[in-house]
Amino acid sequence: MNLMTQPLNAVEARRAARDHILMPRLETPFHPRLTALDEVNDWYNWAGYKAPHALFDEELEYFAIRSTAALFDISPMVKYRITGADAERYVNRLTLRDVRKLGINRVHYTAWCDDHGHVLDDGTLFRLGEQHFRLCCQERHLPWLLDSAIGFTVEIREETEEIAGVALQGPTSYAVLQDAGFAGTEQLRPFGIGTFPHDGGTVTISRTGFSGDLGYELFVPRAAALSLWDRLWSAGAEHGIRAIGYSALNRTRIEAGFIVANADFVTAEGALRSDRVRLPDEIGLDWLVDPDKPHFNGRRAILEARRKQTLKHVLVGLEIEGNIPAEHAIVYHRRKHEAGLITAAIWSPTAKRNIAIASLDRPYGTRFVNDLWVEIYAMRELRYRKMMKRATIVPRPFVKLARRTAMPPGLR
């Protein structure tokens, strides 16, 4: 039976199914500029938005971050505006760090947990005023945020679609801002925030980023996105500015030892199995937990796990023999006992090392730290070759660049 002889409702159902598959993802405010630069048509879904893995060449995009300046569209990052008389008290109850210590026009990295102490997500908290915050994260959490707000005088609103964001990262990023006319950005310390005139309004610039390099993140209303991009692009022409996709940024974040939700750990809301969830101490976020501040979600469970020593996992940095990345490889102890799984891995051009982030099952990684091996399968002339490579636990970050925190920031 062909489409012409099928009942009308069946034809419409098939057409709807086809259109659903073909339906494009949402486009960010910067999408017209990205498509104009795109050479490889390599896109993926980021929180419902169309985002590039790469725009022209993953390796060259990586070296743009490490050698000159790179623009990365962060508009799909989920953003919540939190205001009201109890905003500080509410955010302090929600997250692990003591928000009372976070000054106005400052940012800090944080995470938040469910009542069992399992990490729901991590992200950055911007303090824009005494009772005015912006929470940026990987996943959407509005129902959880609203449930957690019961009893607080606070307003929570998602502003992902309203606010465009772009990350400007790399050693010449400050020079780009300077030539773009953003006077005063030299005073921004790491994790500092400033507001600057742009296109009849303002742009919020923070000295933050996900590359472990000197860098900034800029936020403007959606309508001012393209004018901001053009302003940066024009100023960056003499500083080697390039637009990049996530694959290049992912390389730099691994070098910096940063973790990604639902890549290096499974969020509590995303986990399908009870043994996949993680406490902060099990993914290297123990330093975020402030046990001396007022009660926060998951406090009792986190401190009890520490007291009873019932932590089951540990996240470690590994250096691996050879130069073949070991992404998603199994880690063994003494070549035969499974110890855990590598969650992210690359050959680092900057560190000149084969590096990885791995989640290990305790006591591997705590008491048993030697004689670790990684099982790597490498394609060689249409055949996979199995190799066992020695792995050594090393500190993170794998790459630490002084220019990331230098004051004043890097000049020409």
Cα 77 to Cα 28, 128, 394, distances in angstroms: 11, 18, 30
pTM: 0.92
**What is residue 90's predicted lDDT score, i.e. its pLDDT?**
98
- CA 169 – CA 171 distance, rounded (Å): 7
Q: HSE (CB half, 13 Å, CA atoms) of 107? A: 22
How many other β-carbons are positioned within 10 Å of the β-carbon of residue 129? 10
**What is residue 124's predicted lDDT score, i.e. its pLDDT?**
98
Residue 171 in contact with residue 125, Cβ under 8 Å?
Answer: no
Query: Residues with Cβ < 8 Å from 215, sequence gap 6 or more?
Result: 167, 168, 169, 170, 173, 207, 208, 209, 404
225 secondary structure, DSSP code: H
Residue 395, preceding peptide bond in cis (omega within 30° of 0) = no
Per-residue DSSP letters for 139-178?
Answer: S--HHHHHHHTTTS--EEEE-TTTEEEEEEESTTHHHHHH
Instruction: At 270, give phi and psi (nearest 5°).
Output: -95, -15
Cα 196 to Cα 54, 175, 182, 183, distances in angstroms: 30, 16, 7, 8
Residue 221 in contact with residue 162, Cβ under 8 Å?
Answer: yes
How many other β-carbons are positioned within 10 Å of the β-carbon of residue 374? 25
- CA 98 – CA 325 distance, rounded (Å): 38
Place of tokens 């500190």: 395
**What is residue 19's predicted lDDT score, i.e. its pLDDT?**
52
Q: Which residues pair with 348 in a beta bridge?
A: 353
Query: CA geometry: angle at 201 spanning 196 and 207, to 5°?
Result: 30
4 by DSSP, 3-state: which?
helix
**Gyration radius of the chain's alpha carbons:** 23
Residue 239 in contact with residue 177, Cβ under 8 Å?
Answer: no
Residue 319 in contact with residue 374, Cβ under 8 Å?
Answer: no
381 by DSSP, 3-state: which?
coil
Q: Please state the three-class secondary structure of 295-340 as a single string.
A: CCCCHHHHHHHHHHCCCCEEEEEEEECCCCCCCCCEEEECCCEEEE
Place of tokens 């050879």: 322
- CA 412 – CA 177 distance, rounded (Å): 12
Please name each of the domains of the chain with its CATH number.
24-77+162-256 (3.30.1360.120), 78-158 (3.30.70.1400), 274-394 (2.40.30.110)
308 by DSSP, 3-state: which?
helix
Query: Residues with Cβ < 8 Å from 223, sequence gap 6 or more?
Result: none
Q: Can you give the pLDDT of all 412 residues of the chain as single tens digits?
A: 343 444 446 556 555 555 545 556 899 999 999 999 999 999 999 999 999 999 999 999 999 999 999 999 999 999 999 999 999 999 999 999 999 999 999 999 999 999 999 999 999 999 999 999 999 999 999 999 999 999 999 999 999 999 999 999 999 999 999 999 999 999 999 999 999 999 999 999 999 999 999 999 999 999 999 999 999 999 999 999 999 999 999 999 999 999 999 999 999 998 888 889 999 999 999 999 999 999 999 999 999 999 999 999 999 999 999 999 999 999 999 999 999 999 999 999 999 999 999 999 999 999 999 999 999 998 888 888 999 999 999 999 999 999 999 999 975 4
Residue 46 in contact with residue 76, Cβ under 8 Å?
Answer: yes
Q: Which residues pair with 393 in a beta bridge?
A: 318
